[in-house]
């Protein structure tokens, strides 16, 4: 079950994550690209041609209206990734390169 929002192209999935309706693109994924690469809405649309400009703008509007909550979600996800990285240790490739003194 999904929940409609007052943003025409944004739904809240069963997991509570805002997603662009009709896609698997999470709002925070689109926002992360905008923040990481400095992409304009037009560039986001160019990189994701399956998204309409309305969907892109709705996702950005949703983000700006919920920035604090979504920024916290992104920070929590990054923290979890770092915990997993530390738990797994270096990859076999990194170990080999270090063993050869290449890094």
- How far is the C-alpha of 101 from the C-alpha of 103, rounded, in Å? 6
pLDDT tens per residue, range 6-26? 889 999 999 999 999 999 999
b/e code 32-52 from CB counts within 10 Å (16+ = b):
ebbeeeebeeeebbeebeebe
Closest CA to 18 of 53, 52, 65: 65
> Which of helix, strand or coil describes residue 10?
strand
- How far is the C-alpha of 63 from the C-alpha of 58, rounded, in Å? 8
pLDDT tens per residue, range 20-44? 999 999 999 999 999 999 999 999 9
pLDDT tens per residue, range 54-95? 999 999 999 999 999 999 999 999 999 999 999 998 899 999
The answer to whether 31 and 70 have CB atoms below 8 angstroms apart is yes
What are the chain's domains? 3-99 (1.10.10.10)
pTM of the model: 0.78
């Amino acid at each position: 079950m999904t929940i409609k929002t007052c943003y025409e192209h944004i739904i809240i999935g069963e997991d509570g994550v805002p997603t662009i309706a009709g896609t698997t693109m999470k709002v925070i994924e689109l926002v992360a690209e905008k923040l990481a690469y400095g992409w304009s809405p037009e560039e986001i649309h160019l990189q994701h041609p399956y998204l309409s400009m309305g969907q892109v703008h709705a996702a950005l509007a949703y983000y700006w209206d919920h920035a604090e909550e979504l920024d916290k979600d992104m920070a929590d996800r990054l923290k979890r990734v770092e915990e997993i990285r530390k738990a797994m240790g270096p990859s076999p490739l990194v170990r080999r390169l270090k063993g050869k003194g290449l890094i």
